[in-house]
């Protein structure tokens, strides 16, 4: 099969408090995003976000509709944001091609009928990471570079969390229905992200971690602030973060992650913060 899909149900935090490690990983961890010649998707019932990856090598891969959507084509009632985290690639949208190099992104609005993932070099294939959310209006296609991003440096080396937040597919740069995406790069020597932690019950989120060297790992913290859980991740894995959950992490090496949000509002600053001393 060229397209593989799995479904993840939404969960009640009171139930999650009783989950063991295996169950938490089963519900929230996405272990395999990039398999050669495949498109892999996880359909989450948290705000119906789809988290996926495509890795074309010898063949071009089409973004096909899936049974859960009951649609004629994937973007019939959806929008999508795509990042390239591999070799130089091309996104073909209804016959028009857009080059997408490493760490470049593109937004595609509702109504695009055929999206094709293409690698420019077989020896260095592209890896396309994407988030897709329901949409109600068709907004224009727009490619976004880091140079176009709203970039903010936060934290410090003294607190091990110096990082640059690149807001790329956000409402200050382009119009979307609900999807918001960006990329956070940790400086060398820094390993903590999203600290102090917060929740935002108006939006769920997905984190995709990459640029983590081999034999290193990231511990992602989730759960209600007074009932925290953790998930250990490897390079190029993702995690689903419910609206009621904190979402921060600490790695054994600095790394980069792509965040994607879906939900009721588009306000990046809509966050309910918690002090580190309040966590349990």
Confidence of residue 267 (pLDDT cuts 50, 70, 90): confident
CB atoms inside a 10 Å sphere around CB 253? 17
Which pLDDT score is estimated for 1? Answer: 64
Which pLDDT score is estimated for 276? Answer: 87
Distance CA 118, CA 129 (A): 13
Enter the pTM of the model: 0.97
For 249-257, what is the mean pLDDT? Answer: 98
Confidence of residue 2 (pLDDT cuts 50, 70, 90): very high
Distance CA 186, CA 63 (A): 31
Distance CA 163, CA 184 (A): 7
For 46-75, what is the mean pLDDT? Answer: 97
Average pLDDT, the chain: 96
pLDDT (tens digit, 9 = 90+) per residue, 165-219?
999 999 999 999 999 999 999 999 999 999 888 899 999 999 999 999 999 999 9
Which pLDDT score is estimated for 268? Answer: 84
Confidence of residue 265 (pLDDT cuts 50, 70, 90): confident
CA-nearest of 221, 158, 146 to 185 is 146
pLDDT (tens digit, 9 = 90+) per residue, 64-104?
999 999 999 999 999 999 999 999 999 999 999 999 999 99
């Amino acid at each position: 099969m060229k397209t593989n899909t799995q479904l993840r149900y939404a969960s009640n935090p009171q139930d999650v408090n009783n989950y063991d490690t295996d169950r938490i990983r089963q519900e929230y961890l996405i272990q395999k995003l990039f398999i050669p010649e495949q498109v892999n998707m996880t359909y989450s019932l948290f705000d119906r976000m789809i988290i996926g990856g495509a890795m074309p090598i010898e063949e071009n891969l089409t973004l096909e509709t899936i049974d859960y959507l009951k649609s004629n084509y994937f973007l019939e009632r959806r929008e999508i944001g795509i990042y390239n985290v591999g070799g130089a690639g091309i996104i073909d949208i209804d016959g028009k091609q857009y080059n997408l190099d490493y760490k470049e992104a593109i937004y595609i609005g509702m109504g695009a009928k055929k999206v094709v993932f293409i690698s420019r070099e077989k020896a260095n294939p592209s890896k396309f990471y994407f988030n897709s959310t329901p949409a109600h209006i068709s907004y224009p296609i727009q490619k976004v570079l880091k140079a176009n991003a709203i970039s903010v440096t936060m934290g410090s080396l003294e607190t091990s969390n110096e990082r640059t937040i690149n807001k790329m597919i956000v409402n200050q740069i382009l119009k979307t229905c609900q999807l918001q995406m960006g990329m956070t790069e940790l400086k060398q020597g820094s390993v903590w992200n999203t600290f102090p932690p917060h929740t935002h019950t108006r939006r769920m989120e997905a984190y995709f971690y990459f640029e983590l060297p081999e034999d290193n790992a990231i511990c992602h913290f989730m759960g209600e602030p007074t009932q925290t859980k953790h998930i250990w991740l490897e390079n190029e894995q993702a995690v689903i973060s419910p609206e009621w959950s904190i979402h921060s992490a600490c790695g054994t090496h600095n790394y980069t992650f792509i965040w994607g949000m879906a939900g009721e509002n588009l306000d990046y600053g809509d966050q309910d913060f918690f002090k580190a001393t309040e966590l349990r």
